[in-house]
Amino acid sequence: MEEKYEFFTLDNGIRIVHRRIKGIVAHCGLMINTGSRDELDEEWGMAHFIEHVIFKGTTKRKSFHVLSRLENVGGDLNAYTTKEDTCVYATFLNQYYDRSLELISDIVFNSTFPDKELKKEKEIVIDEINSYQDSPSELIFDDFEDQVYNGSPIGRNILGSPENVLAFSKEEILKFMSRAYNTDQMVISSVGDISFKKLKYIIQKYFDKVPANYRNFKRSKPGLYSPTKNVVERNTYQAHCIMGNIAFSAMDYSRVYLGMLTNILGGPGLNSRLNLNMREKYGLAYNVEANYSTYSDTGLFSIYFGCDKNDVSRCISICEREILKIKQKKLGVLQLRAAKFQLLGQMAIAAENNENQMLSMAKSVLLYDKVETLNDIHKIIDSISSSNLINIANDVFNLEQTSSLIYN
């Protein structure tokens, strides 16, 4: 069935995107183009903390009633924060669209942030920060971004510091939301079996009266990149290593080429070049992967692996060898075709998850004010040539410009 997306913009600037599908389960969410990189220095951790405390009571509901509103009818309410986004979303049976959208509107725009609840949630967030310190395979990604984007807000992890979190007050929360929760930076995304006419009616009922609040600030851009190499001694059983380079932003068309190269080199497929060599051929690492993170004005390519502390140098040599291969030798016709089929298949399977699709639609509208269909993406991937890939590889996979961080 052909993908069809419908769009509408409220008078206050909030955009709506909807895809109607058959089925009894629906998904909708409010995504805000605001994350940890939009915090001032003293606000570090604020966006993530707000994501926690908006569930703790509104002008018409106590915390228990917020948490029970959808759970009582088998639905699920959730939220997350990234460096550039905050999202509150729900999964529910189709007949509860009205209930779900009313609840999302209530917690985002009418939260009261009771002092008692703030105090409890601060302890929970600090526990989350401490637990992260006990997970080196996750922590190293944040520490590496902090190293690469040295001094820039985009480099900071989203959790903040215990000292900052303990100091947050209701007044500071409201101040941040007033400045950064801008209606022209919000998208309501929906995937479910409801007509667009009815969906618009429900959304207008609960979101039309939200006062317009347009963004009047610009994000600070990352500073000039300079490669660095660090080794940190940690009391762990194995070493963790990450290496990489800055890359194309989400606005750069070259991101498509680098996405395919990342998949070839160390994507989720068991036949990725790094997995076939480091794990299958030599048995040196249980987990090795290549990643490409895109932001609105920058990007980061990286390779991560965990291995025995005695094998770090050998694993780095294997990574560098595979990088040189992909820079020097063009993919053959059959190799390129297989890489395209693999990427297209992965994307099609991911699109079958309607919750992921709803979130992806919201992000796409925030960034590009449109949603690319699978057919659109198929055409882009189909147009990629071996020359495109080798040019991008030589641009990004520059070993002299590579930073690294090792937990030893």
- Tell me what percent of the residues of the chain surpass a pLDDT of 70: 100
For residue 392, count other CB atoms closer than 10 A to its CB: 23
Q: What band does 372 get if pLDDT is binned at 50, 70 and 90? A: confident
Structure tokens at 109: 């725009």
Do the bridges between strand 76-81 and strand 25-32 make them parallel or antiparallel, or are there none, so unpaired? unpaired
The mean pLDDT value of the chain amounts to 96
Res 151: pLDDT: 84
Classify domain 6-207 by CATH number: 3.30.830.10
Per-residue model confidence (pLDDT) at position 3: 79
CA dist., res. 242 & res. 266, Å (int): 13
Residue 2 has a pLDDT of 61
pLDDT at 376: 87
Lowest mean pLDDT of 131-135, 372-376, 393-397, name the range.
372-376
Residue with tokens 């693999």: 342
Pairwise pLDDT comparison (112 vs 1), residue with the higher score: 112
The beta strand positions in 299-360, using DSSP E, are 299-307
The 10s digit of each residue's pLDDT in 251-310 is 999 999 999 999 999 999 999 999 999 999 999 999 999 999 999 999 999 999 999 999
The answer for 45, left when phi > 0, alpha when psi is -120 to 50, beta otherwise, is left
Q: What is the pLDDT of residues 163-218, one digit of tens each?
A: 999 999 999 999 999 999 999 999 999 999 999 999 999 999 999 999 999 999 99
Banded pLDDT at 51 (limits 50, 70, 90): very high
pLDDT tens across 206-226, in order? 999 999 999 999 999 999 999
Q: Tell me: pLDDT of 57 over 60.
A: yes
Same fold, 6-207 and 229-407: yes
Domain spans of the chain, in order of start? 6-207, 229-407
pTM for this predicted structure: 0.94
* Whether the predicted pLDDT of 133 surpasses 90: no
When pLDDT is averaged across residues 64-82 and rounded to a whole number, the result is 97
State the angle between helix axes of 386-396 and 255-266 in degrees (0 to 180), rounded to the nearest 10.
80
Domain 229-407 matching CATH 3.10.180.10: the answer reads no
For 116, how many CA atoms within 13 A lie in the half-sphere containing its CB? 3
Sign of the torsion angle spanned by Cα atoms 176, 179, 180, 186: positive
- Point out which residues pair with 90 in neighbouring strands: 28, 77
User: pLDDT exceeding 90 applies to what percent of the chain?
Assistant: 96
Q: What is the pLDDT of residues 332-357, one digit of tens each?
A: 999 999 999 999 999 999 989 999 99
Q: Which residue has the tokens 């560098």?
A: 320
